[in-house]
Amino acid sequence: MDLTPHLPALQVIVPMLFSPLVLLLKPRGLAWAGATAVALLSFAIALNMAIAVADGAHFKYDMGGWEAPYGIELSVGAFSALLLLIVTGAAAAALLASRPSVDRQIELERQPLFYSAWLLALAGLVGIVVSADAFNIFVFMEISSLASYVLIAGGPDRRALPAVFKYLIMGTIGATFYLIGVGLVYMMTGTLNLADMAARIGGVTDINPLLVAAGFITIGLALKAAVFPLHVWVPNAYAHAPHMVTVFLAACATKVAIYVLIRFDFWVFQANLEQHALQFSLFLMPLALLGILVASAVAVFEGHIKRLLAMSSVAQIGYIVLGASFVTESGLTAASSHMFNHALAKGGLFLAIAGLGYHYRDLSLAQLAGAARNMPWTAAAMVICGFSLIGIPGTAGFISKWLLINAALDEGRLAWVLVAIILVSSLMALAYVWRIIETLYFKTPVDEEAVHGEAPLQLLLVTWLVAIANIFFGLFPQFPLALSSAAAQLLLRQTL
């Protein structure tokens, strides 16, 4: 039986079906093994579709045999294939490495619930990516959000509770804004299918409700994506979540919201609202530039390593939004490529932090002084991923920053201002990554008597696998670049 046509549905069904089953795996380690196997299977499905899409395929699937626009349609093109690789890859890597860290942070009896919520978050995120229907995107958004709240609050740090409450409030406001926008578009077009919506908007005579809807949807998704200045929930959520949850969410959660923002806007609004491309740029480009500069500056002076990298993520989200705001093929290619490369760099950095967190209860830079003496392999992997975050040549991060600079050079009179901001922010990234390196390698340990070992082998091996991936995709970027370029072309043709 050929399952290839059913892969878009299996991508969602597999983690969603196994989420409640993992709850029943009570013996020690079985819940982890079950969840990891499901995440690896999800990654294999995503990789299978990505390879087919790179060869020119486009997956469309009508759930239950009901054709769109009346039935629920799933769609996987180049852009969604790239995001599926990011989401399932982050989940598989984090779960594969997670057992030692989770055993330290989550009580044994609560672990089946924890891994069940993880699979539910995974199902929600991949559901958002494959759905071609505005309301089902909202449904999957809520599934992933509710599961994420459970995951963040599931660790031993009680400060996670107010962080989750803030995340819940901000996330609910974002989802409500999105739903109001979708409701307004539905009132004007009578459909929730994105392709049908785009086709019917051309026949709407009073466009004012559509302009309002575009505003609601953009702000709601920008809040979910932590676009500056709507990022206030990010630092505490990342800092106080269990370490492996931070690995998973930092690598992919906000990128899925940006994906929906770009996909919805380019597919539904760009071709149907006069001067919408200009309005899109005028709204998002200043926020992206401010986010890049302000968040990078805050990261330079931050003293807690997880909060530092959380603020760095806000700046990196600025790069992605900046590329999209150019509304050009080169800009969208750079934005898509940076989603992939930043997931590699930030996922690797937070995996290394999980290794540090195995021995260091306090992850402030002051307490991590001299950690490289006892954890040389963990520190070295962190240096490689830090170089990728800065954009050092030979790493994945360099490729997308180079593409972004090239896209900025096409922006006429603004070109050199944009390039200067990208270069200045890269120097700031060098400054805060150097603070980490200086702390780990050149500072005297606070407690000379304390002897720590390396990170657990299972965690260390996955961390190095991701670190090597940062170098591999820096030297051989053809596959993610091909998907990014194809995604940009489809977005501009509104045929995604």
Position 491 in a domain: yes
Q: Residue 164 has what pLDDT?
A: 87
Confidence of residue 450 (pLDDT cuts 50, 70, 90): low
Long-range Cβ contacts of 475-479 (<8 Å, 24+ apart): 475/394, 477/337, 477/396, 477/399, 479/50, 479/54
Q: How far apart are the first and last CA of the chain?
A: 28
CA neighbor of 90 nearest in space, from 172, 173, 148: 148
Q: How many domains does the chain have?
A: 1
Position 129 in a domain: no
Position 431 in a domain: yes
Position 179 in a domain: no
**What is the average per-residue pLDDT within 162-175?**
89
Confidence of residue 394 (pLDDT cuts 50, 70, 90): very high
Q: Residue 448 has what pLDDT?
A: 65
Is it true that the peptide bond before 15 is cis, omega within 30 degrees of 0? no
Using the predicted structure, report yes or no on whether residue 85 has a pLDDT greater than 60: yes
Q: Residue 495 has what pLDDT?
A: 58
Question: Residue 358 belongs to what H/E stretch?
Answer: helix 329-359
d(CA 183, CA 21): 35
What are the pLDDT digits (tens) for 301-349? 998 999 999 999 999 999 999 999 999 999 999 999 999 999 999 999 9
**What is the average per-residue pLDDT within 463-491?**
94
The pair of three-digit structure tokens given for residue 28, joined into one six-digit string: 């020690």
Question: Residue 75 belongs to what H/E stretch?
Answer: strand 73-76
Cα separations in angstroms, 293 against 285, 332, 428: 12, 21, 9
C-beta separation of 197 from 256 below 8 A: no
What are the pLDDT digits (tens) for 3-35? 888 999 999 999 999 999 998 888 778 999 999
d(CA 356, CA 370): 12
Using the predicted structure, report yes or no on whether residue 226 has a pLDDT greater than 80: yes
**Range of lowest pLDDT (195-199, 271-275, 300-304, 319-323):** 271-275
Residue 442 sits in which domain range? 276-495
Position 89 in a domain: no
Position 191 in a domain: no
Rounded to two decimals, the pTM is 0.94
Q: Residue 494 has what pLDDT?
A: 64
Among residues of the chain, what percentage have pLDDT more than 90? 63
Confidence of residue 210 (pLDDT cuts 50, 70, 90): confident
**What is the average per-residue pLDDT within 238-261?**
90
Position 465 in a domain: yes
**What is the average per-residue pLDDT within 376-385?**
95
Position 215 in a domain: no
- φ, ψ dihedrals at 347, nearest 5°: -60, -45
